Amino acid sequence: MTLIERVFAELRGEYEQRVKGALFAGLKPCLTGEPVAADYERLGHQVGMEPGAVKVALHRARRRFGELLRREVAHTVETPADIEDEIRHLLRAIST
């Protein structure tokens, strides 16, 4: 969980630098789970975006989350081949 929180903190910092902290706060719960259409509408209403734009923003945030997560996990495993297995394990652990 510490590694995941570190990735969330770094990603939050990136969003805050672009003055999009509220968007990150709304997207964060969806980064590791599957959102439904109502999530896009609710978040869009909160941050003044159309649901389609929220969906694109979530896609970009997930891609960046994955990049940051891979980088962090790379520091904790012995070989690059172990990265994907470790990420699957981490995501399974936080989804329960």
Q: 47: buried, middle or exposed (CB in 10 Å: 19+, 13-18, 0-12)?
A: middle
| 87 Cβ neighbours under 8 A, 6+ residues apart | 69, 70, 73
Single out the residue of 28, 95, 87 nearest to residue 62, CA to CA.
28
What mean pLDDT, rounded, does the chain reach?
Answer: 90
What digits encode the pLDDT tens for the residues 17-39? 999 999 999 999 888 877 777 88
Residue 81 has pLDDT above 90, yes or no: no
Q: 51: buried, middle or exposed (CB in 10 Å: 19+, 13-18, 0-12)?
A: middle
Q: What is the pTM of this model?
A: 0.84
A 10 A CB-CB count for 53 gives 15
Residue 89 has pLDDT above 70, yes or no: yes
What digits encode the pLDDT tens for the residues 63-74? 999 999 999 999
